[in-house]
Structures are given as structure tokens and as C-alpha cells.
Structure 1
Amino acid sequence: MCGRFTLVTAPEKLMSRFHLQDIPFEWKPRYNIAPGQPIPAILADGGRRRIGQLRWGLVPSWARDEKIGSKMINARAETLREKPAFRRLFERKRCMIPADGFYEWKQMARGKQPMRITMRDGEPFAFAGLFDTWTAPDGHKLYTCTIITTRPNEVVADIHDRMPVILRPEHESAWLDRDRFDAEWLQSLLVPYDPQAMKAYPVSAMVGNPKNDRPECLEEAPWS
């Protein structure tokens, strides 16, 4: 699964990397992003990319209650076209979630060791995601998203049995294109990222508490 990630990249660099015209909300570095929180997400509308904030934890438009979102922070790539909650979104409501690292917990003899996984070059990347809009009984709208996961690559396999889908830069525009839907081809993008481009290192147990959203979360820590 993917249950925590980071985004500390400077906004100017993020805009350049993802071809954004602006960031229409207050930007601040995030060291320990958790489900249920608003997260940056990139969509394309008429060929133009825009970034906004969606709540992490998908609430499908047909849901009776928004509480379902806490159970839908991730969507398995292998079953996207089988699950009613995801099948329609896979066709028309694809998004990207920018990040520069994510956390997983490695089982050790003395307990679980939190690990941060990043690109070797430290550059930001994009998770493949899906989004939807839910309308509450009182009429207010809730915009939410989920992060797609796949089997782990060689870097993550020693830590966890799932990893988030990281899109290759050359596939990002096609993933966002709402007018293009080739199910087989899009499905072929939902695979583990090149392990040669990634690395993992141990971090402090403080990341286990989402209230700890500070730079120390990123620092390499001794093995437990």
C-alpha cells in the first residue's frame, strides 16, 4: 500500500517539472502526508494542466457516506477494471499526485523500521491516481482521490509487498488526457518503477505519528 509520503520540493521547481502555470493555494513543504488530509493533485482540462487539493481517501460519487474514504486511500492496479468504485474513474478521472518520497515499514526482529523511498537523484515524481466528486446531503461537494498501487520493485520488495505506481515522465500527459482511453495501454503503465533509479533509507519512528510533519522526518536514522 501507500499510506504516507512527502512533498518538500520548491514550488518553482514543481511548476517547471510538471508544466504548471501556477499553484493557486498556499504552498508549504510536507514531510509526513497522511490519509484524510488535503493533498496536491494534478489534472488536465482541455490539454491544460492545473493543480489543486483533493482529500486523500476516495469517496465515490455514489457513496452513501463519506466515511468510506478512510478505506479507499489506495486502488490496486490489477483490479481497477473490475471494481465498480474505480472502473469508471479509470476511464475519465485520472490524476497525478506529485511527491518526492514515500514511507513504508520494514519488519525487523525488534519491530517495524520506517523507511523512506526516493529517487536516487532526489527529483520529484508523480503517483498515478484517480479522483471523484461526492455531493453530501446538504449539497456541499467533496473532492477526493486515491493512489494506485502495484507489486513492488527490487528496492521496495524487501520492505513491503506493494508500492505506489510511479508514472514515467513520458507517460504523464497520456495518463492525464481525459479524451484518450486505451484501457490495455493505460493498464500497461501501472507497473513497478525502475529500481535502478530508486533508493531507500531508514528514518525515525516519529513518522508513525502524522502530527509529526517536520524536517526531521526526512533524516536518515540508525537501524532499529
Structure 2
Amino acid sequence: MFWGYKPPWYKRGPASNARLDTVLKSSPFWKPLLTRRILVPAEGWYEWTGEKGAKQPWFIQAKDGAPILMAGIAGWYPDAEMDAARGFAIVTEDAAGGMVDIHDRRPISLAPDDALAWVDPETPVEDALELLSTSRPGSAFVWHQVTPAMGNSRYQLADASEPI
């Protein structure tokens, strides 16, 4: 799937993140996607701190080592083209606790049972939106600095998430 969503009428570039406050307001941008809920599984994600030219990447992962199940919404449907109009976005919320020192936003990470309900087409939109308030707390995550080489998207070595 294309990471980013851009409806045909939207004049700017694709949005890769859907802010929770905007999603909850039934924004015309996101409302059509609320019945196309997805999960984005990950071992963790990266954020950067510092000034331009000297950014320090950080790897954030679940403290318990379990996969992170990020809530997402998508314009995709079976047999659709893989383009921005049928792409997806990860739903994000304000960061809290010590994580806010790394970045002011974070993906909504759901516990396995909530994640299953999130993607269940039988879950009404209103109930699905309530699940977004059950995101795993910031205390469920740990983070550490990783090699600054991660600032280059071509960097694909095995040490990409190892602490420095």
C-alpha cells in the first residue's frame, strides 16, 4: 500500500499521519476512511531530535518486546491501484511523559484485543473511534539513540535500531 493519503480534491501532498483530534472531528479528509481501518505492525519507529544538519535519530519500541500494532486508516480497497488516493495514514496522538522530549506526537498503538476490534468490519465507526482512546501508554515504550546514518533513507544495515 502507498504510505500517505491524498484524496483527488486535495491540493497538497499526501498525508502520512492522521491526527487523532482531526479524525475525531469527522474531518471530510478522514471521514470516508473510517470504515477502512487497518493495522500497521512494526518493531518500533524512529523520531529525530536536534537542529537541521545535526539531527539525532531515536528508535522507539515496546518495552515488552511485543510487536507494535499501529492504528491506521486507508483509502485502499481490493484491486485498487497503489497510489496516494488509495494510500493509508497512521493515526497519531499527542506524546506524553518522557516521550514528549523526543517528539510531540506518536502513533496510536493498540493492545492485541483492541487491534482486532479496530480492524473488524463489524465494529461500528463510533466504537472503533472509542478504541483510539485505549492506546498503550507512553510507559509501555522505551527509546534509545541510534546511528546518525539513519538520517539517510538508503541506510539499511542490521544495526539501524541498535543503541549507540
| TM bucket, shorter chain | 0.7 to 0.9
User: Once the two structures are superposed, what CA deviation does each residue of 1:189-209 show, in whole Å capped at 9, x if it has no partner?
Assistant: 324522232101000111111
Query: Per-residue deviation at 1:106?
Result: 2.1
Task: Find the counterpart in structure 2 of residue 207 from structure 1.
Answer: 150
Is 1:197 aligned with 2:140?
yes
Task: Check whether the contact 1:94–1:176 (CA below 8 A) recurs between aligned residues.
Answer: yes
Is 1:86 aligned with 2:30?
yes
Instruction: Report the Cα distance in structure 1 between the residues aligned to 2:46 and 2:103, rounded to whole angstroms.
Output: 10
Describe how 1:11-22 pairs up with structure 2 within 5 A: none
Query: Per-residue deviation at 1:58?
Result: 1.3
Query: What SS class does the counterpart of residue 156 from structure 2 fall into?
Result: coil
RMSD: 2.4
Distance 1:182 1:131, change over 3 A: closer
Instruction: Report the Cα distance in structure 1 between the residues aligned to 2:50 and 2:107, rounded to whole angstroms.
Output: 19
Task: Find the counterpart in structure 2 of residue 57 from structure 1.
Answer: 4
Instruction: Report the Cα distance in structure 2 between the residues aligned to 1:120 and 1:127, rounded to whole angstroms.
Output: 15
Identity rate, percent: 29
Work out the number of aligned pairs and report it: 156
TM-score normalised to the size of structure 2? 0.83
TM-score normalised to the size of structure 1? 0.62
Unaligned runs of 5+ in 1: 1-53, 135-139
Task: Looking at secondary structure, tell me which structure has more strand per residue.
Answer: 1
Query: What SS class does the counterpart of residue 190 from structure 1 fall into?
Result: helix
Task: Check whether the contact 1:153–1:193 (CA below 8 A) recurs between aligned residues.
Answer: no
Task: Find the counterpart in structure 1 of residue 81 from structure 2.
Answer: 141
